[in-house]
Amino acid sequence: VLLACLSSFAEVLQGCAEQLRGLALPEWSGQERALVLEDPEFRDFLRGLGGLRCTAWRLGLVAEIFLPCTAADPSGQGILDGGDTPCAGSARLEEFQASLGSQLEAARAAWAGVRAAGQELGLQLEPWEPGGLFEAGSASAAAKGHRSSPVCGLCLLPTLPLGFEAQADPDDGIASVLFKGGLWHAQCANFWVMHGATSVAFKNTGMADPFAQ
């Protein structure tokens, strides 16, 4: 599931980058381009990109747990060192790590492509600091229940417990929903329905939907 989601992320982000690059073509006049950039549908598109970025961070964080530090983070500051990973020498695990590292790199490269395409249009899709997210254990009031929160069915990170919605900023992307018999991040649930479960990568696994009820 994790491999399929990362593969789907790369495809979706590559499509987003193509849309942005299309708006930078000389066929568009400055006035036409400005109208598109101010259109409510385009603003919704940018908000959707923000949601993808947040979900990609969540899945990327989980992916790094399975990767040797040199693969997950070239700086060597990964979450786990390869020697700490169970059965680190097994061929099956090494194959999984290689595939996971490749998909994670592709997803990050696709996001870099989105940022570059946005910069051509004067859009500031700057590097993002997720430290304020509930899953990262932010110091907000909503984070007080962080340690005992149920985990999301897709990314396995803590979700905002029911009853804390009033304390959360709706623009933070931390809203939770009841989905597939559990509590999920709303963004993760939307991604799985719209992209993950329907992706070619997931269908190629031959698996049935593991979240089907």
Parent domain of 160: 133-203
pLDDT for position 200: 87
Looking at the fold, whether 46 and 115 belong to one and the same domain comes out as: yes
Is 152 part of a structural domain of the chain? yes
Looking at the fold, whether 72 and 19 belong to one and the same domain comes out as: yes
Looking at the fold, whether 140 and 99 belong to one and the same domain comes out as: no
Look at the chain and report how many structural domains it folds into: 2
| Cβ–Cβ under 8 Å, residues 175 and 186 | yes
Distances in Å between the Cα of 72 and the Cα atoms of 97, 137, 209 are: 10, 21, 27
Distances in Å between the Cα of 45 and the Cα atoms of 14, 189, 203 are: 14, 18, 26
Is 208 part of a structural domain of the chain? no
Domain boundary among 126, 154, 179: 126
DSSP state at residue 130: G
As averages over each run of 10 residues, the pLDDT of the chain (213 residues) reads 90 93 92 93 90 87 79 42 50 85 92 91 71 56 58 88 63 76 89 90 86 73
| Cβ–Cβ under 8 Å, residues 13 and 113 | yes
Looking at the fold, whether 111 and 137 belong to one and the same domain comes out as: no
pLDDT for position 82: 40
| Cβ–Cβ under 8 Å, residues 103 and 7 | yes
Distances in Å between the Cα of 141 and the Cα atoms of 5, 20, 98, 146, 172 are: 31, 37, 39, 10, 14
